[in-house]
Amino acid sequence: MNFIKSLYFHQQFYLYISIISAIFLVSFWFPILYMLAWFLVMILGALLLTDIYILFKDSKGIKARRIVSEKFSNSDENPVPISIENNYSFKIFLKIIDELPKQFQKRDFEHYTSLNSSDKYNFEYSVKPVERGEYHFGKLNVFVSSPLRIIARRLKFQENEMVSVYPSYVQMKKYEFLAMSNRLTEFGLKKIRKIGHTLEFEQIKNYIPGDDVRTINWKATAKQSKLMVNQYQDEKSQPIYSIIDLGRVMKMPFEELKLLDYAINSTLAFSNIALRKNDKAGLITFSKKVDTIISASNKKTHLNTINEALYNISTKFTDADFGYLYAFVKRKITQRSLFTLYTNFEHISSLKRQLPYLKAISKNHLLVVVFFENTELDDLLTENAEDVQSIYHKTIAEKFAFEKRLIVKELERNGIYAILTKPKNLTVNVINKYLEFKAKGFI
């Protein structure tokens, strides 16, 4: 039974059958062709048996392997290498069909190649997930044909292989590399001149020409009979919290990715940069109540803790309760911290409902409200309106865009920092704001 299931006929086999059938049909009028038809049947039968024998005699005629990492990076291209080895004593022709996870909705993956005896062949394709979670690969199917090309033998490898899709660690590593190599401007990150210095004392040291004379410690100078200066270092270990709204406003998709996933990817990259800057990174997610709280810390393993928490969160179908968030923050987080709040406001009225709670939070903490431009309206805003309907659509689009700018002004008028950003520029803009605060000594 397994033999029958793994045997497939080539199209040219059916072509041969069609030609022989046609000769049989014509032989009713030309009997001499009858013997020719039977002769061709015997040849085809012999070729068929030969092809079956040489393909099925070796149970390990080929080896194939799909090589996937333990996890994929969400919203990024992830390579999937495949390795094939030919153990037959002759050249083979291959059709490779990989059964991709259902989330990709791709059912036409095929790859064709030929392989000489004892040769190896490696190739790769890439997949771009847009949802976090478990992705299950099906079978890696390899259809092998001999040079006769009468039948194909199907071999199956690595059935039901699972890969977890995590928040974008590719994006996180990219910004980490750029930060460490001082190449942040390549991706739109600004170099901001540091204003003044913080007053966290480090040590007293000997004066060296070029030191700031304003830091001379006269008491230590008198005792040592030589100039001594106070040395200061940048203030470190400030609590930095990313707060993610899990309400229904974060379900909106842009370029196949939900706003929530943009916020998650940004949080991971931003937390990594904060830890690299020796600050403490923390995480809060909330809807009707606080779902996740990870206290700010700068431990080496803390980024993994944040990553695992981000992997499991999802949006709710209700509006988020900002009043509950304020009460929770007031009770649990007493040290002044930087709060980066990822949410979305489409109308000024929705902001005004939450504004009292945002103002209350900003009294004790440095609050940055991050929300999103509706990039689906960009085409309507730039196109020429040539009829009444297009004028109406453009007017509505401009009204929505204006309300977004009005929300920024309202937040700033109440002493709250705001970032209005396109989803794809979210991470850059958030890190820019953080670096600006660091340069100005706000944190």
pLDDT (0 to 100) of residue 195: 46
CB 194 within 8 A of CB 173: no
Residues 88 and 177 in one domain: no
pLDDT digits (tens, 9 = 90+) for 284-294: 999 999 999 99
pLDDT digits (tens, 9 = 90+) for 310-323: 998 999 888 999 99
pLDDT (0 to 100) of residue 360: 96
Distance CA 383, CA 56 (A): 63
Region 34-43 average pLDDT: 92
pLDDT (0 to 100) of residue 246: 96
DSSP string, 318-387: S---HHHHHHHHHHH--S--EEEEE---SSHHHHHHHHHHHHHHHHHSEEEEEEE--GGGHHHHHS---S
Q: Report which secondary-structure segment, H or E, holds 243.
A: strand 239-245
181 pLDDT exceeds 80?
A: no
Residues 264 and 206 in one domain: no
> Which residues is 166 bridged to in the sheet?
73
Distance CA 434, CA 442 (A): 10
Residues 241 and 385 in one domain: yes
Residues 66 and 128 in one domain: yes
Residues 330 and 396 in one domain: yes
Percent of the chain whose pLDDT exceeds 70: 90
pLDDT digits (tens, 9 = 90+) for 255-276: 889 999 999 999 999 999 999 8
pLDDT (0 to 100) of residue 211: 77
pLDDT (0 to 100) of residue 235: 55
Residues 291 and 368 in one domain: yes
Residues 307 and 374 in one domain: yes
Distance CA 333, CA 326 (A): 10
71 exposure class (CB count in 10 Å sphere: 0-12, 13-18, 19+): middle
11 pLDDT exceeds 60?
A: yes
CATH for 109 = 2.60.40.10
pLDDT (0 to 100) of residue 197: 47
Residues 177 and 288 in one domain: yes
Distance CA 61, CA 155 (A): 9
**What value does the mean pLDDT of the chain take?**
87
Q: Identify the domain containing residue 388 by its residue range.
A: 169-193+235-440
pLDDT (0 to 100) of residue 190: 56
User: What is the Cβ-side half-sphere exposure of residue 30, based on CA atoms within 13 angstroms?
Assistant: 9
pLDDT digits (tens, 9 = 90+) for 55-109: 998 888 999 999 999 899 999 999 999 999 999 999 999 999 999 999 998 888 8
Its pTM stands at 0.80
pLDDT digits (tens, 9 = 90+) for 182-232: 545 555 555 555 544 445 556 788 888 767 778 888 888 888 888 888 876
Residues 336 and 430 in one domain: yes
